[in-house]
Amino acid sequence: MDLSEEEIEELAAVIPDLLGAYERIDELSASDPPVRYPDRESGSEPTADEDPLNAVIRTCTVEGSGSGVLEEYDVGLKDNVSLAGVEMTFGSDVMSGYVPEIDATIVTRMLDEGARITSKLNMENLAFSGSGEMSAYGHVLNPHDRDHLAGGSSSGSAAAVADGTVDVSIGGDQAGSIRIPAAWCGVVGHKPTHGLVPYTGILGLGRSFDHTGPLARSVRDCARVLEAIAGKDPLDPRQGAVPTQAYADAVASDPDPSDLTVGVLEEGFGHEQSEPGVDGTVEEALDDLADAGATVTEVSVPMHLDGLPIWNGIANEGTTATINGEGIGHFGNGYYDTDLMAAFAEARRENADRYPPTIKLVATLGEYLAEEYHSHYYAKAQNLSLDLASAYDETLADVDVLAMPTTPQTAHERIPDPSRLQILERAVNMLPNTAPFDVTGHPAISIPAGTSDGLPVGLMFVGERFDDATVLQAGRALEQRVE
């Protein structure tokens, strides 16, 4: 705007009266979600002997109700999940020293179901990478071969489950960040339907593609966690109607493979980055499932190959908007963590030079696209994501689940001092099968399917939105074949 002197004088006369409302807001106290289990300590950093994979940032003990579906379970939290009184780092030194005053909704729900929170887990710096080498607290080692990485961005969430540090963990998934490390570390990782699990009290990248969900050594344990955390939260502005299912019961007894119809997605194989050993291991696992009685048929969704470009169109500007919105944004009714917003706002203004290369790239590109093209590509990508979702839905009308490799390759080999360009390339070269389902919101699970050259390979099942139970059942049917 170019204001005239007259307009400036008029506004200057009116604004002081309006500011009185903000002074009154300062005088009022807003309600925060109550901390239901306040008996806790701030925790401590583990030693290298206690944490050989560098999966844990902080150990702690928060006891829950003592009974429920997660009774006797030790749970680790990705370090973007708020746990009151325990420092939260986001895997970054941009916001070091921030201590939440609330528990994330899913934390309260797990504690209500008998869980014990025992650790905050290492993660990629501000969550924007799939490799596992970008945390400000050091990279997370692969539990199967320490010359390789655990994957990201929920690096510690997968490694801590794989080596038994925790029974189950919570990860976050914006482009595959639950499923990638699950595949590379040889554990189960479930990305729930978008909106099924509340995100209140969790720092994300973009409200339309943020997901949080469980990692575990078995499908049944993933189902137990989902049973505890799924459902409507009035504090979460992203949720609409949230139909839930009996997830633990769905896999309590072993499913009959002959009841399962699997659509093997043609476009999920043979990517530029695909390793023949990965595609072959997944194909062999599906053959075993067919031998057990499942109907396994090839299907095609050509638009799947456009899923990653569509994700890019949404994620770059969406993440930039979240940064500009002080980590929370302006998204509608619900709870806004003002302490987190204040800490993020101060940190990004003082420490932006410490952003990891991926965030510097995204913020630069996102600002350019918004300013130069008026967010046209973001809006068009959001519209295209609806078409992509419909294409998957049309195919899922004829099969129970879609199947494909979780990632086209096994875990990245660890490089001692990667360049910034290497970091940027290795951060996103595993996304062609995972990222599309973050923007369409379909539930997806990664199941260990075997190994290639000694490293784990993940097989991904994808189902209809809010039918996570069927996805879990398909995962359990495969798990029975490879146990």
Catalytic residues: 78, 153, 177
Do the beta carbons of residue 210 and residue 315 sit within 8 Å?
no
Q: C-alpha distances in angstroms, 138 versus 7, 91, 92, 147?
A: 54, 9, 10, 14
Q: Is 334 exposed, middle or buried (0-12, 13-18, 19+ CB in 10 A)?
A: middle
